[in-house]
Amino acid sequence: MKKAMRPTLVIMLWLGSFLSLHAQSKIKLSVHADPQVSWFSSDENAVQPDGSRFHMQTGLSMDFFFDENYAFALGFGINNLGGTLLYSDSTLFVSNEDTLSLVPGQSVKHKLQYLDIPVGLKLKTEELGYLTFFLQLGLNPMININARGKSGDGTLDDESIRETTQLFNLAYHAGAGVEYRLGGNTALIGGIRWTSGLTDVTDNDKANITIKTITLHLGIMF
């Protein structure tokens, strides 16, 4: 029990330290809940994208300003991604240490969940009325915490496919948005962000599979 509590305590201490620092004017904290659409990209005909997934990304972000209009951005959240892949050849999936074989021509819906820790740079304009516009560029290191698959023939029926999903995923993001100041340090945030994967999502040696995402960024800054 004590070992299981250690990661939770570390996260709580980590968040607590940042929240205490938030009292300083150079640090801005925001929370967000972002609708998004994700889909796969493949470099081989043997495995082809065959559908997208709509879900939510939630989390918190911290902007560390090293100049009045420039900040280092750090985030922490849960990112739900995935899509559907069409396998033209027979394919093996490992689920709970059992090996399942799919016949050729099957589509598999992948539901992937990641611990997302985006890092990047944020560039902001001067406030115009109540509005501040921004651009953001950075990287998304992600750790897989859940992966499930469902095939058209029922071989995979929302089964765990974590054994055939890479633990680590890396992507880059670029986005733009606007902050609407409500009063003091409180502001509403809206924007759009493009994210594209840099590393292979699965351990399938028939193709290199990456994830692409379009996200509507919605949040509130404190």
Distance CA 50, CA 78 (A): 24
Q: What is the largest CA-CA distance in the chain?
A: 60
Domain of residue 56, residue span:
26-221
Answer with the residue of higher pLDDT: 173 or 19.
173
Whether 19 is covered by a domain: the verdict is no
Domain CATH number, residue 156:
2.40.160.20
Whether 5 is covered by a domain: the verdict is no
Whether 45 is covered by a domain: the verdict is yes
For the cut 60, the answer to whether the pLDDT of residue 16 exceeds it is: no
The radius of gyration of the chain from alpha carbons, rounded to an integer in Å, stands at: 20
* C-beta separation of 211 from 204 below 8 A: no
Q: Which pLDDT tens digit goes with each residue over 113-139?
A: 999 999 999 999 999 989 999 999 999
The two tokens of residue 114 are 């990641």
Predicted confidence at residue 178, as pLDDT, reads 97
Whether 162 is covered by a domain: the verdict is yes
Whether 13 is covered by a domain: the verdict is no
Predicted confidence at residue 23, as pLDDT, reads 46
CA angle 215, 41, 73 (to 5 degrees): 35
Predicted confidence at residue 22, as pLDDT, reads 46
Answer with the residue of higher pLDDT: 220 or 99.
220
Distance CA 69, CA 135 (A): 11
Whether 205 is covered by a domain: the verdict is yes
Predicted confidence at residue 114, as pLDDT, reads 97
Whether 110 is covered by a domain: the verdict is yes
* C-beta separation of 69 from 123 below 8 A: yes
The two tokens of residue 60 are 């918190």
The two tokens of residue 49 are 């994208």
Domain count, the chain: 1
Q: What is the mean pLDDT of the chain?
A: 88
Q: Which pLDDT tens digit goes with each residue over 50-67?
A: 999 999 999 999 999 988
Whether 20 is covered by a domain: the verdict is no
* pTM for this predicted structure: 0.85
The whole-number average pLDDT for the span 42-54 is: 91
Distance CA 13, CA 148 (A): 31
